[in-house]
Amino acid sequence: MSNNTVSDSTSFAIRVLLVDDQRMVGEAVRRILATEPNLVYQYCKSPEEAVATAEQFEPTVILQDLVMPGIDGMSLVALYNEHPKLRDVPTIVLSSQEDPLVKAEAFSKGATDYLVKLPDPIELLARVRHHSKGYIHLLERNAAFEALAENQRILALELAEASDYVRSLLPAPITGDIAIRWDFESCSSVGGDSFGYHWIDDDYLVLYLLDVCGHGVGAALLSVSVMNTLSGRSLHDVDLREPDQVLEELNVIFEMEKHNDMYFTLWYGVYCKSTGTLRYSTAGHPPALLYSKDNAAAPKQLATPALPIGTMPIANFKVGEAAILPGSRLYIYSDGVYEIQLDDGREMQLEEFIPLLQTPLPSDEDGLKTIRHQVGEMQNRHNFDDDFTLVEICFN
């Protein structure tokens, strides 16, 4: 409503429209209402013009005479009730009749109230105030809902942009002697998982995956900050080829007390191509799974025990080492890939997830997504309560 929709609810005025073919009645009502502050009055003599006048005037209450030439008052009440802009406007019928049947018909057509004209000025003012107050509250509520919907629309757009930005930071899959691909699905607009990989030089390949506690914008911001720190190689006086040094420095930089009490788990590994070895350190993160070419044995679980990054000011991180044979497959992931609720009410355990990766996955573009689909089937839904992140490294 152009005249009534404002940000400050106190500026909603009482707007009274009288539709009555008798000018004398129009003047009498005007005088009664003239004593009321913050009230705007409009008189309409022609019933044919009543709906158009109401659309333009935007009343907070309509006073409607019943007996008029042309269109009768009952028909107008019904028209107001069917009109999308007027159906919620309170309508007070003014009639010279006290007949209960007439009153019942008026209410059945959509009237809000019924007065025998001309009513006592005190009573008319009281009813005008009462019904206008209720309608103004409706206007205020609708305006608040509209503002909320607009804010939610803007927020959704911003979250979508943030999600696109976070995804744009993730590395592209690579092919060749070492092939890397991944499947990532956030449980919310933006999540706390991120990962990366890059060559330090021609011989050393860095691999990492982190999972920030919680979800939403705060977790995503911390996740991106850590990822930028690692990918930008901005850890001073730290050899990125030494996993324990990297985790120790991250633990200092991202102390949870300095980051809104948020912490993160991390798997960090460095593959040396010339020696075929993988050195790694973990901080509260699930173990990477190393499968041999022939899949004859259970995978090696690569993890070193330690608390998540940021939880303790001083922490020591150990380094593990594994030989990487040709044809091996390495999987790093977040706990969201297996911490789901099964049909029997149990939470799925890592040991139940491991067999899903035992057989090499299809090499097509959607090959890794088959795992997410299988896990979704196991929990009978394909939306997850946590971020789903799975990275596959094939040493061909």
CA dist., res. 94 & res. 68, Å (int): 11
pLDDT (0 to 100) of residue 137: 93
pLDDT (0 to 100) of residue 189: 64
Q: Assess whether pLDDT exceeds 50 at residue 130.
A: yes
Which two three-digit tokens encode residue 374? Answer: 């299988």
pLDDT (0 to 100) of residue 2: 45
Banded pLDDT at 11 (limits 50, 70, 90): low
Q: Assess whether pLDDT exceeds 50 at residue 5.
A: no
CA dist., res. 248 & res. 245, Å (int): 5
Q: Which fold has domain 9-144?
A: Rossmann fold (3.40.50)
Q: What is the DSSP string of 358-396?
A: SSPPP-STTTTHHHHHHHHHHTT-SS-SS-EEEEEEEE-
In tens, the pLDDT along 52-88 reads 999 999 999 999 999 888 889 999 999 999 999 999 9
Q: Domain 170-395 carries which CATH code?
A: 3.60.40.10
Q: Assess whether pLDDT exceeds 80 at residue 188.
A: no
Counting residues of the chain whose pLDDT is more than 70, the rounded percentage is 96
Greater pLDDT, 158 or 65: 65
pLDDT (0 to 100) of residue 4: 47
Q: What pTM does this model have?
A: 0.70
What are the residue boundaries of the structural domains of the chain, listed by start? 9-144, 170-395
Banded pLDDT at 8 (limits 50, 70, 90): very low
Contact 250, 229 (CB under 8 A): yes
pLDDT (0 to 100) of residue 366: 84
In tens, the pLDDT along 193-217 reads 999 999 999 999 999 999 999 777 8
Residue 124 main-chain phi, psi, to 5 deg: -60, -45
Beta strands in 130-287 (DSSP E): 178-185, 193-199, 204-212, 264-272, 277-283
Q: Assess whether pLDDT exceeds 50 at residue 7.
A: no
Q: What is the pLDDT of the chain when averaged over all its residues?
A: 90
Contact 338, 348 (CB under 8 A): yes
Q: Which of 28-32, 183-187, 205-209 is predicted with the least confidence, judged by mean pLDDT? A: 183-187
- Give the torsion sign (CA, 332, 337, 339, 342): negative
Greater pLDDT, 12 or 328: 328
Q: Which of 100-104, 154-158, 374-378 is predicted with the least confidence, judged by mean pLDDT? A: 154-158
- Give the torsion sign (CA, 205, 255, 232, 216): positive
Banded pLDDT at 9 (limits 50, 70, 90): very low
Residue 109 main-chain phi, psi, to 5 deg: -80, -15
HSE, side-chain direction, 13 A CA sphere, residue 342: 10
In tens, the pLDDT along 249-264 reads 999 999 998 888 999 9
Q: Assess whether pLDDT exceeds 50 at residue 289.
A: yes
pLDDT (0 to 100) of residue 214: 79
